[in-house]
Chains A and B, each alone.
Chain A
Amino acid sequence: MAKVKGAIVVDVQKCKGCGVCIPACPTSVINLANEVNGKGYHYAFMEKPDECIGCSNCAIVCPDGVITVYKLKL
């Protein structure tokens, strides 16, 4: 079992679905949703939340600053 558990919260309405966060994630947690937000963008979401290690890479490269990151040390 992982020593850390992480999670991200995406500001869905502000996400533009650029997908830059996807290759930045070392554990392939993120994908774009099939649903769209109010602007018609397929927003980023945690497809595999169990894999998130809270490294913040996705938030660091997010051009719109819509990702907030949490990390729990076990």
Chain B
Amino acid sequence: MAEITLEDIIKPENLVYKKTDLLTDKELSYCPGCGHGTAHRITMEVLEELGLEERTIGVAPVGCSVLAYEFMNIDMTQAAHGRAPAVATGIKRCWPDRIVFTYQGDGDLAAIGTAETIHACNRGEKIVIIFINNGIYGMTGGQMAPTTLPGMKSSTSPFGRDVETMGNPLKMTELVAQLPGTYFVSRQAVHSPAAVRRAKKAIKKAFENQRDNKPGLSFVEIVSNCNSGWKMTPIDANKWMEENMFPFFPLGDIKVDGQLVK
């Protein structure tokens, strides 16, 4: 048998994985190793696999992913800080047959946009919210977020988050799961192949719920890293995330088909 060369393998008929065309070719503005890119990609893969891209309108937040509309190759609206769920509500109410989602970070969703998040969830808006939680404000330079862990250092909690004076981290996902308006609530991660596969499954479930007009909002949190903000290498940040973030923000489905499962 003849030696198999790379040229024999790298042929169109042997292609098993390539970046979806629903992501533009523009270079992502995220730091090396940042989970945002993976979260963008699996979101777009889900839309492609479900064939929903022609009737989807996405809403980008303010934060690191403010430029999400540069990368997601679908119709997009960029919202003011924290207001994405209200913007999405306006769109969905006027176009009930469209698929509408927001993509928001922890500062956007769990601090300045807490009211918009909770009320969109509580009204049971038939939208998808994808919530990236990396425990820090990345874009503005690593300040404390509503999800910064107790004792965790940030540029505005340089000696660690003191819960006595700075308050406690907020578990938005558990909180919205309690609301009757949410239909599906899950917390996932994208740091390993297995985690990405589970996260993609959750995001798929969320969009299927909206496609099938299920009664309520689908909410998927992705616990992610912020190497720059945490001041770690990407690999170390993922390890730190497993050891510190996951015990506080445990992964898995919290609410499925309108029923709490955890």
Interface, chain A (partner B; CB < 8 A): 5-7, 9, 14, 16-20, 22-24, 41, 49, 54, 56-57, 59-72, 74
Contacts and interface: CB of A to CB of B under 8 A. Distances in A.
Contacts of A62: 37-38
Nearest to B7: A7
A20 B193 contact: no
Given A5-B9, A54-B16, A63-B37, A19 B235 contact: yes
B192 A61 contact: yes
B18 A20 contact: no
B16 A71 contact: yes
Given A20-B191, A70-B9, A56 B17 contact: yes
B30 interface: yes
B19 A70 contact: no
Given A16-B33, A23-B235, A63 B28 contact: yes
Nearest to B193: A57
Contacts of A54: 9, 14, 16
Contacts of A72: 4, 8-9, 14
Question: Interface range on chain B: under 10, 10 to 19, 20 to 34, or 35 or more?
Answer: 35 or more
Contacts of A71: 9, 14, 16
B190 to A, nearest CB: 7
9 contacts: A14-B27, A18-B34, A19-B233, A60-B17, A60-B196, A61-B196, A62-B38, A70-B11, A71-B9
A10 to B, nearest CB: 12
Given A56-B16, A61-B191, A70-B15, A20 B36 contact: no
Given A56-B16, A65-B23, A70 B234 contact: no
9 smallest CB-CB distances across A and B, nearest first, come from A18-B33, A63-B37, A16-B32, A18-B32, A65-B19, A69-B17, A57-B193, A56-B17, A7-B9
Contacts of A6: 9, 16
B161 to A, nearest CB: 26
Contacts of B234: 18-20
Contacts of B238: 20
B18 A19 contact: no
Nearest to B26: A14
A52 to B, nearest CB: 8
B103 to A, nearest CB: 15
B142 to A, nearest CB: 18
